[in-house]
Structure 1
Amino acid sequence: MKPPEIGVTNRHVYNLPEAPISTLTVEQFVSDAQELTQLMRVRFHQDKIYVMGLSWGTILGTKLVQQYPDLYHAYIGTGQMVNTTENDRMSYEIALRTATERNDSGTADKLRRNGPPPYTGNGMAMKYAMYNNILFDIMGSARLEAVLLLAPQFAREYGLLDKVNFARGLVESFSVVYPQLQDLDFTTQASKLDVPVYFLVGRQDINAIASLVERYYNVLEAPHKELIWLESGHGASSEEVLDAMVNHVLTQATH
């Protein structure tokens, strides 16, 4: 079935007025993602598309398929977030224990002064970054600062100004949007989804705690669901995503 035509053109997409960061909400992100879905349906002549989320994107992806199930073939989540406050406190404890075991008293003292999350207000992003950098080190990944500064430099779709503003925009929007997620708990708020669901879970993931994803999977009701374990940290590699799509998601779609 051909998707309905919608009155949005590339000119309209790229000339939208900039939303003040102070006005951003999770609901606005979900609404924007739904509009992007409509654009993709038209551009690629598809009635439904697949949606995949990574980390923060899993929060949007889960909410998206929950609110608009008729637009999606399936949902794939990697680095799946489930309960942000519980997850962050568990991650913080891992980081504090690791700093203590490494005899890094300076970092351990700073973590204790910050206290466990959630954080709000000035400097909250740096407090989250402090313990998350320890987690990424444990998982053998690059520090957050390296990702934020280097990743946009290789994005061909970004202009020079986009690359300069990437990190600043992320930090400022994080301080507004992330506190809105303190009460998030998908085990109760999204325990039923009307699309097939695939979780790609890294056994070594201590940023999105794997045990919480498994707990969510066990209570989740969906037309079809799979928990696909990976020997990785936070987020599947491109090879792992390809394998999951070919051997799980698309295989199931043809049945």
Structure 2
Amino acid sequence: MSAKRLRITSPHGIDESGFVRISGIDQWISFRGDDRRNPVIVEIHGGPGASNLIYTHRTRAWERHFTIVRWDMRGAGKTFGRGGPDGQGEMSLRQLYRDALEVIDHVRGALGVEKVLLVANSFGSVIGLRLARQRPELFSAYVGTDQNINAGGRDHTAYDALVDRLTAAGKRKALAAITAMGPDESAWTTEQWTQYNKHTVASDPLTRKTLQTVVVGSLLFSPLHKLREARTYLQAMDFSEQVALESVTIDEWAEGTTFAIPFFVFQGEFDVITPPETARSFFDAVTAPVKDFALIRDASHFASFRHPDQFLDLLLTRVRPVLSTKVDESASIN
């Protein structure tokens, strides 16, 4: 049923995917939409190493209004499956940023568009903010969701809230492990970063339920993946954890709060991984031609995929009105 629902049969539609040579390795890129004349969204997925391709059946309605470009970064999804751990090349934020620029140039040429709408999720929003700051000429707007805001180690909102939840629940063993780590993420090992995230998810019923139903459910029943690819997906996330701690020393305020393009943040109202309070604090400091902030109701992390209808409504009512759509209809991805 899901595979049938994903079929795109409209005369101006596009449903193309495959490997493209990006920065020296084969990387998976998917183009989907009911009308290629619609605005183009390029997603920067989270994780690290957590491809958004598994959510395609949940976001089918988005494709009626936008052409959705999903890219499996090096170390993620089908890209990881293609080359394996030894074929991913350099794993660093700098390299992922360079890859993203090359992907965006490929998309612009393939679809005949001057600019794309940049939508960044979670860990991917670290790269997304840098792209939006440094290369605004490529983008019609920036949308961050599950927006990750690092403050050079100054902000402990998520950590303190986790300690409070564990204390209230009487989880002494988990509390001891978290307090032993301390709030300074830059001092953590990769294993401690993983442990922290597991305790965060386990401590919050809404996040835990979302992970089980939205994330794991999407992975296991994705019509675009074979069952064996579920294992590869998880292996990719484990492999990509090596770049996670590189991001925690970033100070987004120091990197810059001035953006030359419209700037939007749509955050889960109960997000315990990337708290809306922190995202709002950064948003309030931002200067942009247009900016807007909204909470996605009844959502923690993975908010846009838990409630794709709410997210689409925000895209259509708040973002799309500021976009210009110039498309070269003679362009072809082939």
Which range, TM-score by smaller chain? 0.7 to 0.9
Q: Which has the higher strand share?
A: 2
Aligned to 1:53: 120
What aligned pairs does 1:86-165 form with structure 2 within 5 A after superposition? Answer: 86=153, 89-118=156-185, 120-121=188-189, 123-137=191-205, 139-142=206-209, 150-159=217-226, 162-165=229-232
Distance in 1 (alpha carbons) for counterparts of 2:196 and 2:211? 10
Match of 1:244 in 2: 314
Counterpart for residue 234 of structure 2? 167
Per-residue Cα deviation, 1:51-90 (whole angstroms, up to 9, x for no partner): 1011112112111122221111111011111116658732
- Please state how far the C-alpha of 1:182 moved relative to its aligned partner: 2.3
Residues 1:62 and 1:249: Cα distance change in structure 2 (over 3 Å): same
User: Larger deviation: 197-206 or 153-162?
Assistant: 153-162
Compared CA separation, residues 167 and 211, structure 1 to 2 (3 A): same
Residue 77 in structure 1 maps to residue 173 in structure 2: no
What whole-Å deviation, never above 9, does each CA across 1:107-157 have from its counterpart, x for those lacking one? 2233233333415436234322233223542x3443758877554333444
* Aligned CA distance change for structure 1 residues 145 and 247 (closer, same or farther; 3 Å): closer
User: Is 2:295 the counterpart of 1:225?
Assistant: no
Paired residue for 2:134?
Answer: 67
Structure 1 partner of 2:280: 214
Moved over 6 A (4+): 145-148
Q: Which of residues 29, 41, 48 is equivalent to 2:96?
A: 29
- 1: distance between equivalents of 2:296 and 2:217? 26
Identity rate of aligned residues, in percent?
17
Alignment of 1:13 onto 2:21: yes
Contact 1:87 1:212 in 2 (8 A): no
Higher helix share: 1
SS of the aligned residue for 1:28 comes to helix
Q: Secondary structure at the match of 2:231?
A: helix
In the alignment, is residue 185 of structure 1 matched against residue 193 of structure 2? no
For these two proteins, the number of residue pairs brought into alignment is 244
Partner SS for 1:23: coil
Q: What is the TM-score of this pair, normalised by structure 2?
A: 0.64
- SS of the residue corresponding to residue 41 of structure 1 reads helix
Q: Relative to structure 2, which stretch is displaced further, 214-223 or 149-158?
A: 149-158
Structure 1 stretches of 5 or more lacking a match? 1-8
Quote the Cα distance in structure 2 between the aligned partners of 1:84 and 1:166.
30
Question: Structure 1's 22 and 105: CA in aligned 2 closer, same or farther, altered over 3 A?
Answer: farther
CA 1:66/1:161 → structure 2, altered by over 3 Å: closer, same or farther? farther
**CA shift for structure 1 position 10:** 5.7
What is the alpha-carbon distance in structure 2 between the residues aligned to residue 12 and residue 79 of structure 1?
A: 28
Distance across 2 between alignment mates of 1:189 and 1:65: 12
C-alpha contact (below 8 Å) 1:77/1:199 kept by paired residues: yes
Residue among 103, 106, 122 paired with 1:39 = 106
Task: State the alpha-carbon separation in 1 of the partners of residues 130 and 190 from structure 2.
Answer: 28
Aligned partners of 2:91 and 2:243 also within 8 Å = yes
Cα RMSD of the aligned pairs, angstroms, is 2.9
Choose 113-122 or 164-173, whichever is displaced more: 113-122
SS in 2 for 1:81: coil
